[in-house]
Structure 1
Amino acid sequence: MPSTLSRNPSMDLPVPLSVGLMQPLGWLVLGWKDMCRAPALSLAHGLCLTLFGLLILWIGHDRFWLMAGALSGFLVMGPVVATSLYAISRALERGEPVGWRLVRHTWSHWQQGHSKLGNDYWCLVQFGVLLSISATGWVLVSASLITLMSPVRIATPLDFMQHVVLAADGSLFHLWLALGSLLAAPIFASSVVSMPLLLDRKVSLPQAVLTSWLVILQNPIPMAVWAGLILMFTLLGLASLLLGLVFVMPMLGHASWHAYRDLVDASDFALREAAHGVPGR
């Protein structure tokens, strides 16, 4: 049984749970099973994301920093884009029908019962804006670092590969990687369970983000393993000219739902939507 931190009523936050070191591997297995149980919906998500990524590559193939910025935003926004994948996994977990109507309902009515004038109605948009700002900040910092320290002007992906990644003196590339890891860590900590929690329970954006940070503090090693697995599979998808993302993105999206279920006890908070509330088609 997972252990829990004692609930602090004054904080009014869901309770983070402890998981085993290799639990992230189990989330991937469950994510793959969910993808196989709803293959058309899952792969349609992956295909749409892949086509969008290919469009970015086509537009920015000779404008390296434009492409890097768009791809960074694309990847950072993954937890938001995967919202309907979380809903699919939730429906499968509840034994509810799964279909295109569920996907439409997730994006159009998930915030049902909240006033459009309230912050809670717009928390998904707010979280997406925060992640977009974070991605933009990384690209600006990255571009400044490479521009200032590279011996030649970097204008295309080939320039970056030749003069940064494959340079005889790899110090700039190592510095670039270290800086990227430093900036990516708080983004990961803020988003690891935030979107599934916002979808599942009536919590505010600050509550979701703080809970996500508490999960990291409760499970630093398993969360490092989870981050490494996400990075590894994402890189494999990118290395296959993005085609592997057709399978990788939905698998990671479904797996993130199971990560949330193992990492957070939100039973004291009301469900955003009662079980068996949405038909499949």
Structure 2
Amino acid sequence: MVTLEKVRRDAPWAWIKGAIDDMAAAPFLSIGYGVVFTVIGLAITVGLWSLGQGAVVPVMMGGFALVAPASAIGIYRISQMRDQGKTPGLWDFWSIPKGRFTQLALLSVLMLVFFLTWARLAQMMFALFTHEADFRLDSFLPFLFTDVQGVMLMVIGTLVGAALALVAFMVSALSFPMMVDQDVDAVTAVVASIKAVKDQPDVMLVWAWIIAFATGAGLALFGVGIAITFPLIAHASWRAYKDFNPRPSPSAKEVEARLAEKNQA
């Protein structure tokens, strides 16, 4: 079991404000992380475009949102260092206790599975609806908006992607920051994240919409805005985790040990 604090309904806006403060305190580090992922995104976009596969770019952009929480560990560390009264550094990522890397890696694999599932589903939908459609973006966009099959692909693809993104959000909303900050296993962190969404859906669904809007805005100009929105959302996710303050219930062994110490005292 995990215990969570109850947060205010307008908490997401406080998380954004805290994120802006974090970015202002370490702008080169925070935006630097965003620039790295922007460059990677641009490289993938250019590569697909040059291969005449521009229609695949939106799929890859949508998939980025699924793996982004696992890619933001270094940004969480910036916020963590600030909370501890320390100056954030470039190599803080590697100062995470080694035991936590295994659990972070396990959950990162799960997020990768979400991404691969989305890619596979997108491939199946393309095969079902596009037939011989040209995958160059300049000719694929008219197909989406003027052809019945294209409209169906867009609607169904959006619904499927939204459902998968919601599940990924429930799993990762608090889990990655929690594992960076506490010695907990991946299952406990995921339970805390799902519990936050389940206990306060009004707050967390607003937060999910803010993330979706910020990600969409960041991806708008071929992903250039991600340099800002990616670290902003990552810092805000840390603030969300600190606000909920998840605390795992002690195990039976820990309870017995405490009782034994109390009896001896």
Tell me the TM-score normalized by structure 1.
Answer: 0.80
Pairing of 1:192-231 with structure 2 (within 5 A): 192-231=173-212
Q: How far does the alpha carbon of each residue in 1:231-250 deviate from its partner, in whole angstroms, 9 at most, with x for none?
A: 11111111122221111111
Indicate how the Cα distance of structure 1 residues 160 and 37 shifts in structure 2: closer, same or farther if over 3 A, else same: same
Determine the C-alpha separation between the residues in 2 that align with 1:146 and 1:66.
Answer: 10
Is the contact made by 1:28 and 1:252 (CA closer than 8 Å) also made in structure 2? yes
Matched, 1:81 2:67: no
Unaligned runs of 5+ in 2: 251-265
Indicate how the Cα distance of structure 1 residues 254 and 161 shifts in structure 2: closer, same or farther if over 3 A, else same: same
Q: What residue in structure 1 maps to residue 96 of structure 2? A: 110
- Post-superposition shift, 1:181? 1.1
Indicate how the Cα distance of structure 1 residues 66 and 111 shifts in structure 2: closer, same or farther if over 3 A, else same: farther
Is the contact made by 1:190 and 1:209 (CA closer than 8 Å) also made in structure 2? yes
Determine the C-alpha separation between the residues in 2 that align with 1:261 and 1:139.
Answer: 33
Q: What residue in structure 1 maps to residue 146 of structure 2? A: 167
Q: What residue in structure 2 maps to residue 127 of structure 1? A: 107
The size of the alignment, in residue pairs, is: 246
Determine the C-alpha separation between the residues in 1 that align with 2:173 and 2:140.
Answer: 30
Aligned equivalent of 1:49, options 3, 24, 37: 37
Q: What residue in structure 2 maps to residue 147 of structure 1? A: 127
Secondary structure class of the residue paired with 1:44: helix
Report the structure number with the largest CA radius of gyration: 2
Determine the C-alpha separation between the residues in 2 that align with 1:46 and 1:189.
Answer: 23
Is the contact made by 2:23 and 2:232 (CA closer than 8 Å) also made in structure 1? yes
The structure with the largest helix share of the pair is 2
Q: How far does the alpha carbon of each residue in 1:159-194 deviate from its partner, in whole angstroms, 9 at most, with x for none?
A: 442222x23643432222111111211111000001
Determine the C-alpha separation between the residues in 1 that align with 2:200 and 2:178.
Answer: 17
Secondary structure class of the residue paired with 1:203: coil
Is the contact made by 1:16 and 1:218 (CA closer than 8 Å) also made in structure 2? no
The code of the aligned residue for 2:233 comes to L
Q: How far does the alpha carbon of each residue in 1:5-37 deviate from its partner, in whole angstroms, 9 at most, with x for none?
A: xxxxxx3xx312322222111111110111011
Q: Equivalent pairs: percent with the same residue?
A: 25
Is the contact made by 2:75 and 2:231 (CA closer than 8 Å) also made in structure 1? yes
The code of the aligned residue for 2:118 comes to W
Q: What residue in structure 1 maps to residue 26 of structure 2? A: 38
- Post-superposition shift, 1:126? 1.4
Is the contact made by 1:147 and 1:153 (CA closer than 8 Å) also made in structure 2? no
Is the contact made by 2:74 and 2:92 (CA closer than 8 Å) also made in structure 1? no
Unaligned runs of 5+ in 1: 1-10, 115-119, 270-281
Is the contact made by 2:188 and 2:248 (CA closer than 8 Å) also made in structure 1? no
- Post-superposition shift, 1:267? 7.7
Secondary structure class of the residue paired with 1:243: coil
Is the contact made by 1:127 and 1:205 (CA closer than 8 Å) also made in structure 2? yes
Secondary structure class of the residue paired with 1:77: helix
Indicate how the Cα distance of structure 1 residues 96 and 201 shifts in structure 2: closer, same or farther if over 3 A, else same: same
Is the contact made by 1:17 and 1:215 (CA closer than 8 Å) also made in structure 2? no
Is the contact made by 2:197 and 2:204 (CA closer than 8 Å) also made in structure 1? yes
Is the contact made by 1:21 and 1:221 (CA closer than 8 Å) also made in structure 2? yes
- Post-superposition shift, 1:151? 6.1
Aligned equivalent of 1:15, options 3, 27, 32: 3
